[in-house]
Amino acid sequence: MMKHYPEQTAVHIALVGAGPGPLELLTLRALRRIEAAEVVVYDRLVGAEILAIIPVGAARFDVGKRCGEPSPSQQEINALLLALARTGKRVVRLKGGDPLIFGRGGEEALYLAHHGFRAELVPGITAALGCAASTAIPLTHRGLARSVTLVTGHLQGEESFNGWRTLVGEGQTLVCYMGLEQAGKIEAGLLGAGADGALPVALIVAGCSEHERVIRCRLGGLARAAEALRGATPVLIILGEVVALRDELDQLLTGLESRVA
């Protein structure tokens, strides 16, 4: 049965993807919405360069979630967005990456719609795409990977999760968001579902930033590698044969640079 929403008002609120951090990876539409904003509600992963372009007179609300620290619940964020939308001001809800990929943008858009407000959804470059390109890891590659699966490491009801087999397959790249704390469960789950313990893995710390680091390991050593990074944030995990292409590409480029020199 089709749901009936209250009569919607004009758009006063935009759910904007800020991309993986650098200002240069922000879309033009996102830039225009931020520059015109009267109120900005932003997350922790929004890059400092992007926060710097928020208009001086705009009200700011930091609702970022920080591990181990008090932070607003999703219900509180929803209520704040609704209250701000009712003011009639131009509101930007600014999220790292893309608002509809592990950003709860869908939840917020639905909440606003149920209360009569139509939010504009402005896409952004999600972490998987930005970090893979920044670290020279092709997520797909002919003959190696014909598909990409994006998953969250914050498994809901980990003990009962039975979808590991769907994440194991030849010719597939797996990208895990927010998976550092659950690395042990991810390793055990994939190995238990038949994944090869020698599968190449890359843990990308602070991807697309000047502090970017890449730690390489195999699936069988994922938990140990993650333990060594405890406390680091943000961390994106890429698993698949394509990870090995990074070394090959680096070697070829290094060889070319030495010839030019």
Would you please indicate which residues are annotated as catalytic (active-site) residues?
43, 65
- Say which residue the tokens 């809901």 belong to: 156
Q: Within a 10 A sphere around the Cβ of 88, how many other Cβ atoms?
A: 11
- State phi, psi for 204 to the nearest 5 degrees: -105, 115
Q: Largest alpha-carbon pair distance within the chain?
A: 68
Beta-carbon contacts of 108 under 8 Å, excluding residues fewer than 6 positions away, are: 15, 77, 78, 81, 93, 99, 119
Q: Can you name the residues that pair with 204 across neighbouring β-strands?
A: 214, 236
Q: What is the DSSP string of 109-160?
A: HHHHHHTTB--EEE----HHHHHHHHTT--S-BTTTBSEEEEEESS-TTGGG
The answer to whether the beta carbons of residues 44 and 50 sit under 8 Å apart is: no
In angstroms, rounded to a whole number, what is the distance separating the alpha carbons of residues 8 and 133? 39
79 vs 85: CA distance, rounded Å: 10
Asked if residue 236 lies in contact with residue 132, where contact means CB atoms within 8 angstroms, the answer is: no
